[in-house]
Amino acid sequence: MASRLNPYISFGGDARQAMEFYQAVFGGNLTLSTFGEFGAPDPGSADKIMHANLETDRGFTLMGADTPPGMEHNPGNNIAVSLSGDDADELRGYWEKLSASGSVSVPLERQMWGDEFGACEDRFGISWMVNIAQPQG
């Protein structure tokens, strides 16, 4: 397999719900592994997600997990997931689902560089940027 770069998101206890939501947005195969499946000694974390992997038919990979016991969960604004391309219908569909239950900081509309672009935060506090490339001509 070739090397690839993909986002890995840490959650504060709602990784299962978040990753199931992203599967509803993007489709694909979601695998979830809990701390309990790997013998976590803390019974309170047995049902929490140790690793989640979403692979879509479009070639997207999104990974995530609940923050392990004993580690601090530090959500912040230092990461965003970017979706870009020229399939306007597909990207608008993702935008609608991601922004519907979150907050929009930049509406999805034509920008000064000519593309359609929008930025939002989904209901789990994850920042998303969507850029729809316009035909060059």
We report the CATH number of the domain holding residue 90 as: 3.10.180.10
| E strands, 8-126, in order | 8-11, 29-34, 49-55, 61-66, 80-85, 103-110, 116-121
Q: Are residues 57 and 84 in the same domain?
A: no
Q: Are residues 26 and 48 in the same domain?
A: yes
Least confident of 43-47, 82-86, 122-126: 43-47
Q: Which of 37-41, 65-69, 119-123, 132-136 has the highest mean pLDDT?
A: 119-123
Least confident of 6-20, 51-65, 71-85, 107-121: 71-85
Q: Would 98 be classed as within a structural domain?
A: yes
Report the number of distinct structural domains present in the chain: 2
> What pLDDT, on the 0 to 100 scale, is given for residue 63?
93
Distance between terminal CA atoms of the chain? 36
Q: Are residues 125 and 92 in the same domain?
A: yes
Q: Are residues 92 and 51 in the same domain?
A: no
Decide which of 86 and 75 is more confident.
Answer: 86
Q: Are residues 62 and 98 in the same domain?
A: no
Q: Would 37 be classed as within a structural domain?
A: yes
Q: Are residues 57 and 88 in the same domain?
A: no
Q: Are residues 20 and 62 in the same domain?
A: yes
What pTM, to 2 d.p., does this model score? 0.81
Between CA 58 and CA 55 the distance in angstroms is: 8
Q: Would 97 be classed as within a structural domain?
A: yes
Q: Would 71 be classed as within a structural domain?
A: no
Q: Are residues 94 and 126 in the same domain?
A: yes
Q: Are residues 52 and 15 in the same domain?
A: yes
**Pair 122, 22: CB distance under 8 Å:** no
> What pLDDT, on the 0 to 100 scale, is given for residue 2?
64
The parent domain of residue 120 ranges over 80-132
Mean pLDDT of the chain: 90
Helix (H, G, I), strand (E, B) or coil at 82: strand
Q: Would 27 be classed as within a structural domain?
A: yes
Between CA 6 and CA 66 the distance in angstroms is: 17
